[in-house]
Structure 1
């Protein structure tokens, strides 16, 4: 017969108190809290209210969760406590404690009733219970105790994930239980308790070893402390057996712990690493084998472990570089658990292992830097290790959302607790390294399509290298030129700016691509383009409206290929964002993500997967398939407020961009790049060098005269003055006589037309533009504009006697 949870709690509340010991089913129960609770209830049973109040105050001060208090209360019974709380003389702390117990019992009832309704097929009722439970912010470890009370409960939740009525709330419940598992395996008290249980009966020791394995790296510091404690000598044999059983999860702290000066402990750790069998440990073992200060036993053990791993230990620096390269390449054997938001970086400080939590995306970069440092300590002349360190440092900052081109302090740096507060910016180290190493860094960035690293390397090259250091026939100097074909627009333009400013005097492979990329910067006006692939046209149109409001031009198709064809028809050739419906076909969303990442133009483009409520699983799979992929809910437009809709959408775009190590090419940035491109084109035009063909920039400069941004129009005109073509002079004349522009801007345009005429002569001939200019110069009411026009007219040096005509026109007798 099923007893509703609320009734069960009442029955338990009436049960007699007992001095029970902590048992295996008391998941995550603090012994200190349990002891104080039992002392309090025992005192209350004896009517020793003063002592009971003192002990209950001790429990209250522990800030236990409502559910944990309810679990303890239901084990001992709490009827007398609840009766006391209702009396006038009850301390406020006792009343508060009972309120928390009752709240915890409500959470317990919601969980157990939800499981019951799910088991009998009443899914809507189960859903209501699970939703209310999640909204009550329950203790995940306490929920874990409830789940483990019946092995079927976890199975029920897994089966419910695909259920239309209760699936999302069941999934949320499972996420809470997973969080409980994570908290439990990190709990120092739980770990220490399990280590002590290794000395217990066989079954107890077996379960304790199993839980220590689940604790993974978190167990290693405690196991080492017990190993070094002579009073725990009886546990040492069991500890020596259990350390290698933890396996790969314990590798990082074990490797770092080899720095210990305790040779007895060191040998145990060396033997454990050999038994675990991962080559990740090889550089650390080789370092011990080569350490003259290590004991002969430790050195011999390290060599034996290396032999077991099939690795020669002679080249410590080379082994550390290989490991650094594996970390940088995000090799499966060394990468952090992507299911967690943070990863642990271990250090040995004052003889103790200590961890620093860092955002998971930067873990591999930090470890790559640490291993590169070890490689350089072993061999200071390893150029590849230096370049890898610089690249990893750039990538670390880029993933934190920092501007890798800046040397100014940034509050985002605080997210990385492995760096001190006054740590220099990544650009500082890159500048100091010099051109050679930054070319090596840029080569990595190009191969990886890593925009953040590329931007940092280009910035360092721009500020420290001249033409001879940027271009040449040597292989080492090719990456900057290759980057002109980088999939990310900002990187392409930055590379072209660097090459253009250098004004190389001799031609080089790829020089013909510099002007077109600078022209690309002028052609884009700050308005981004998005590709939308969605078979649901209503949903696609909704997303298009959201993106258009955010400043995007859009192309829509029912599939990825259809969307690409649509973009081609409307003249969109590059995309700043791709939206994929979770249910697209041919290819499906996973195939589309893979295809986009393989295609050079979209290899570093942010991707958003549009998910409906029942498509979360497919969306999450897509986000794990590649970097720079985020989910966006299909009902985002239901937020109503356009500002909130835009904020939610752009936050997701920003996260995807940061995961790719890039910043969104927003209007301000695009205009800044366009202005810089105008200045560099002007510089190239003035140089008269034959390396670059300035004429290829004229159409883009002409187009920029129609920009909505006045400074860009003026700077484009200034550069266009150097273009020896009738098209350039025609465009300048039209812009100067455009009455919709401001007077100062028009004066600047007339000045550019005059300069063009002085440099290149009259390329307008007898066109209509000449007649209009004469008419303007003779009749314009604004004398400042007339004066500016007269300079341009005079510079054109027209063959007819226009001066006489102007003099006669002003004659009044």
Structure 2
């Protein structure tokens, strides 16, 4: 027992001694030297602290902090590890200083593993992530240091060991080593290094591809052949169009063309080698556009990545850093430009270039610039409208297939500006991309497509024309709650889900899908479907082929929590589907819906956007209603317009009423009369507009009101205090031309 007490006291002293060292660190004083820390950790007696030691340098102090951070991280002391981590960050070291400090203090410990382990710990996660980011930046700066790269190249031929060390450093530099290789290859005094440089290029492989395919533009034929051989040895298809361009050019030396053909044979099969370079460049462009892993940016986690050019003045490659977010767009455009240089009639290259240019503007981060796009260069819209529908329709087709809503919207805007009827609907036979956009899951896309088609006002019907007015009606209803179809055979669970869906949707629920769909038949649009996986979800897919409202609605497929992965696999081809546990709460449903929105690139519609959509749609619908020869059926928009005159926003009410007044359908008149006569507390301007729209309806379809409605209308026309409203009501009364002697009654009502 006495020994145990002595051991406990000793451990407590060790902890106090180490805590004292910690306080010293955090206070800015020198920490205990490593040797003394080791003595404190192992001795059974209290060591005597030495005084008069020389002060530590800032680098030593930083290394001591790094040492103690790693020590306490491994010991599991989260408090002390966190304190030392913060002390490191508060010292504000440069990334290289921090890296040197950790490397000098590592003493066999794996820095990366320690940080990764800390990241799994809630209390150490934030500080460890910041340190990891700092060290990673230090690695990058150090690896790309020009002097370090030049030294590695200069000494790689000294010995086998030197070659291994140099290869490690040059591999860390990656593509940024290429200009320095070219620098030496261009220097005759370094000719002894040429074979070693070529060997090193072969060893480094794929990271050098992007600058190397530009480096083969060197005028030095011997150098070109060497680089072509390296490209063949590396063996990536990315080099194929550049090699084919050399092989098929009659202006090149036969030896150079032969080298290119031999390199291609190492990379691809005979059928692909036979393709012209222009088509191979388009094929490469498509891989860039779709972010194929084989051609992805080398440094996806960094803010910028280089786009390489050959500078004939420098006889070397130059990397231009562009924001990583647009790197694939820029590379797509460059590959398309190369294709068009070889074949200016390559329509696929033109469309893909336009798509990449439009997407480049979307992808460019706020506040960033594209150095490959000089100031004063026309924007993407300029080239898109100049190209016209022949090339823009394929762009829209690409954008729809990629589920890229921002790109779709920019493309539709360009099509609308230049397309005309023929450009938008073609000959009316078969479906154009714009017609397909009418059934796209994103509300903004559907409305943009319907708006373009409505304004085009074609004379001949086309495939999907029946969808235009319902989509415009959906746009009118954007300021109101969308419909949600909820299917669940368990009434208790259905009511539970319905309770939290009601906050955002008008819910139509039933035990069976067909019943729920029937309940929602008058809903302007369906914003969500919740349906059990299996037969119900499969039935929904069938119904969506005939009910366009279901074709674009996001679908949450419910099931047991343990079966969600199976459901995801079963409906993997349905991009608008997402699984969710049937016992899930509102947060679970929101998360699942968010996955669909993110997958399709859909942004939520803001209140201001919803209002703008409503008003613009009403304007378009009014044009359709007034045009008696329109191919579009205005009647399909009536449910949405009726919902619109019940809106809380007066401008939406007035705009919706204006459309209903032009619709030649008694249903529209009845809705207007009900809204005008029901609420006498509504703003006077709104009531005036409703009565004037009722008058317009009467002029279009005559009188379809009940005697009770007529009596109430006479009362308003006779006794309404607001003269503008009374005058509007009187106008409606006169337009209805009812047989009762209303004129006499109105005259008598003003006699005092």
Normalised by the length of structure 1, the TM-score is 0.71
The equivalent of 2:492 in structure 1 is: none
Cα 1:265/1:125, change in 2 over 3 Å: same
Q: Per-residue displacement from partner, 1:322-367 (whole Å, max 9, x unpaired)?
A: 1011111211111224333322211223333222222223211111
Distance in 1 between residues matched to 2:64 and 2:712, nearest whole Å? 87
1:320 pairs, out of 281, 289, 305, with: 281
Q: How do 1:634-783 and structure 2 match up within 5 A?
A: 664-689=604-629, 691-737=631-677, 738-766=679-707, 768-783=708-723
8 Å CA contact 1:454–1:491 kept in 2: the answer is: yes
1:553 pairs, out of 496, 501, 504, with: 504
1:266 aligns with 2:224: yes
Q: SS of the residue aligned with 1:486?
A: coil
Distance in 1 between residues matched to 2:179 and 2:99, nearest whole Å? 25
List gaps (5 residues or longer) in structure 2.
1-13, 35-51, 486-499, 508-515, 530-551, 579-584
8 Å CA contact 2:428–2:461 kept in 1: the answer is: no
The equivalent of 1:346 in structure 2 is: 308
The equivalent of 1:36 in structure 2 is: none
Cα 1:212/1:448, change in 2 over 3 Å: same
Cα 1:181/1:494, change in 2 over 3 Å: same
8 Å CA contact 2:429–2:462 kept in 1: the answer is: no
Distance in 2 between residues matched to 1:174 and 1:128, nearest whole Å? 16
8 Å CA contact 1:492–1:517 kept in 2: the answer is: yes
Q: SS of the residue aligned with 2:291?
A: coil
Q: Per-residue displacement from partner, 1:105-124 (whole Å, max 9, x unpaired)?
A: 44322211111223334343
Q: SS of the residue aligned with 1:152?
A: coil
Deviation of 1:585 (Å): 5.2
The equivalent of 1:793 in structure 2 is: 733
The equivalent of 2:110 in structure 1 is: 153
Distance in 1 between residues matched to 2:506 and 2:720, nearest whole Å? 46
Distance in 2 between residues matched to 1:779 and 1:211, nearest whole Å? 92
Cα 1:416/1:203, change in 2 over 3 Å: same
Q: Per-residue displacement from partner, 1:310-331 (whole Å, max 9, x unpaired)?
A: 2526501011011011111211
Q: Per-residue displacement from partner, 1:531-561 (whole Å, max 9, x unpaired)?
A: 9xxxxxxxxxxxxxxx99xx983899xxxxx
Q: How do 1:607-618 and structure 2 match up within 5 A?
A: none
Q: SS of the residue aligned with 1:193?
A: helix
The equivalent of 1:499 in structure 2 is: 453
Q: SS of the residue aligned with 1:259?
A: coil
Distance in 1 between residues matched to 2:483 and 2:725, nearest whole Å? 39
Q: How do 1:328-727 and structure 2 match up within 5 A?
A: 328-336=289-297, 337-349=299-311, 350=313, 351-400=315-364, 412=366, 414-472=368-426, 478-525=432-479, 553=504, 573-574=527-528, 586=562, 599-601=574-576, 664-689=604-629, 691-727=631-667
Q: How do 1:265-284 and structure 2 match up within 5 A?
A: 265-284=223-242
Deviation of 1:413 (Å): 7.7
The equivalent of 1:186 in structure 2 is: 144
The equivalent of 1:537 in structure 2 is: none
Distance in 1 between residues matched to 2:175 and 2:336, nearest whole Å? 23
Q: SS of the residue aligned with 2:695?
A: helix
Give the length in aligned residue pairs.
645
Cα 1:114/1:240, change in 2 over 3 Å: same
Deviation of 1:751 (Å): 2.0
Q: Per-residue displacement from partner, 1:485-512 (whole Å, max 9, x unpaired)?
A: 1111100111111112222222222122
Distance in 1 between residues matched to 2:428 and 2:718, nearest whole Å? 60
1:227 pairs, out of 178, 182, 185, with: 185
The equivalent of 1:138 in structure 2 is: 93
Q: SS of the residue aligned with 1:485?
A: coil
Q: Which moved more, 1:698-707 or 1:471-480?
A: 471-480
Cα 1:808/1:554, change in 2 over 3 Å: closer
Q: SS of the residue aligned with 1:524?
A: helix
8 Å CA contact 1:530–1:552 kept in 2: the answer is: no
Normalised by the length of structure 2, the TM-score is 0.77
List gaps (5 residues or longer) in structure 1.
13-77, 83-97, 402-411, 532-546, 557-564, 604-609, 613-621, 631-655
Q: Which moved more, 1:453-462 or 1:734-743?
A: 734-743
Q: SS of the residue aligned with 1:128?
A: helix
Distance in 2 between residues matched to 1:182 and 1:425, nearest whole Å? 34
Q: Which moved more, 1:472-481 or 1:419-428?
A: 472-481
The equivalent of 1:199 in structure 2 is: 157
Distance in 2 between residues matched to 1:361 and 1:592, nearest whole Å? 33
Tell me the C-alpha RMSD between the 2 structures: 4.1
Distance in 1 between residues matched to 2:665 and 2:741, nearest whole Å? 24
Distance in 2 between residues matched to 1:475 and 1:385, nearest whole Å? 26
8 Å CA contact 1:487–1:602 kept in 2: the answer is: no
Cα 1:147/1:282, change in 2 over 3 Å: same
1:128 pairs, out of 73, 80, 83, with: 83
Cα 1:555/1:803, change in 2 over 3 Å: closer
Q: SS of the residue aligned with 1:788?
A: helix
Q: SS of the residue aligned with 2:110?
A: helix
The equivalent of 1:637 in structure 2 is: none
Deviation of 1:446 (Å): 1.4
Cα 1:11/1:160, change in 2 over 3 Å: closer
Distance in 2 between residues matched to 1:735 and 1:694, nearest whole Å? 20
Deviation of 1:241 (Å): 0.8
Cα 1:577/1:501, change in 2 over 3 Å: closer
